[in-house]
Amino acid sequence: MSRLAPRVVPVLMLLASLLLAGFAGLAPAAGRPVAAIFPPWWNATQVFEAVARAGGPFIRFGAFPFIAVTVSPDPAVAARLRAAGAFLVLDAQALGGCVARKSVYARS
């Protein structure tokens, strides 16, 4: 065993714990906006339809057309979004609103 191994293992464990703690802070909560990240090769129509199938009201797209922002008081919406094809479902506010390009709703 090299002399470097005893130093590398604790550093890797620290990095892994920081990464897991970061993802824990991004976990979606009922009633808060969530960002559903779908496959990058999906177009906006596919993403919109997947959100509709999951029962989440579509709010807007994120920085890319394969990211959708939705909000629902139902805590099961995250699981339904994953079942509809989302790779990740994260708290949109923790992600900075996914750097929105445009909103679906017109503001008056």
Looking up residue 35, the CATH number of its domain turns out to be: 3.30.70
Domain total for the chain?
A: 1
- pTM of this prediction exceeds 0.85: no
pLDDT at 14: 63
For the ranges 5-9, 89-93, 94-98, which has the lowest average pLDDT? 94-98
Judge whether 40 lies within some domain: yes
Between 62 and 4, whose confidence is greater?
Answer: 62
Say how far apart CA 31 and CA 4 lie, in whole Å. Answer: 48
User: What distance separates the 2 farthest-apart alpha carbons in the chain?
Assistant: 67
CA dihedral 27, 29, 35, 37 (to 10 degrees): 50
Judge whether 5 lies within some domain: no
Q: Which domain holds residue 67?
A: 27-91
Judge whether 37 lies within some domain: yes
Judge whether 103 lies within some domain: no
Judge whether 11 lies within some domain: no
Evaluate if residue 107 carries a pLDDT over 90.
Answer: no
